[in-house]
Amino acid sequence: MAEDELVPEDDGGQSLVRSGADDVERAAEAALRPRHLDEFVGQPVVREQLSLVLQSALSRGRTPDHVLLSGPPGLGKTTLAMIIAAELGASLRVSSGPAIQHAGDLAAILSSLEEGEVLFLDEIHRLARPAEELLYVAMEDFRVDVVVGKGAGASAIPLALPPFTVVGATTRAGLLPAPLRDRFGFTGHLDFYADGELQRVLMRSAGLLGVPLDVEAAAEIASRSRGTPRIANRLLRRVRDWAEVRGDGRLSLAAARAALEVYEVDHRGLDRLDRSVLTALCSRFGGGPVGLTTLAVAVGEEPETVETVAEPFLFREGLIARTPRGRVATADGWAHLGLTAPVPTGTLFG
- Active-site residue, from 79, 165, 171, 305: 171
Q: What type of residue is 153?
A: G
Residue from 239, 251, 233 nearest 193 by CA: 233
- Active-site residue, from 47, 77, 234, 240: 77
- Give yes or no: 63 in active site: no
- Give yes or no: 308 in active site: no
Residue from 100, 99, 111 nearest 145 by CA: 111
- Active-site residue, from 11, 122, 271, 274: 122
- Active-site residue, from 47, 224, 226, 230: 230
- Active-site residue, from 63, 78, 79, 170: 78
- Give yes or no: 305 in active site: no
Long-range contacts of 212-216 (CB under 8 A, 24+ apart): 212/249, 212/250, 212/251, 213/251, 214/250, 214/251, 214/252, 214/253, 216/252, 216/253
Residue from 241, 237, 196 nearest 27 by CA: 237
Give the torsion sign (CA, 64, 68, 71, 77): positive
- Give yes or no: 171 in active site: yes
Q: What type of residue is 33?
A: R
- Give yes or no: 78 in active site: yes
Known catalytic residues? Answer: 77-78, 122, 171, 230
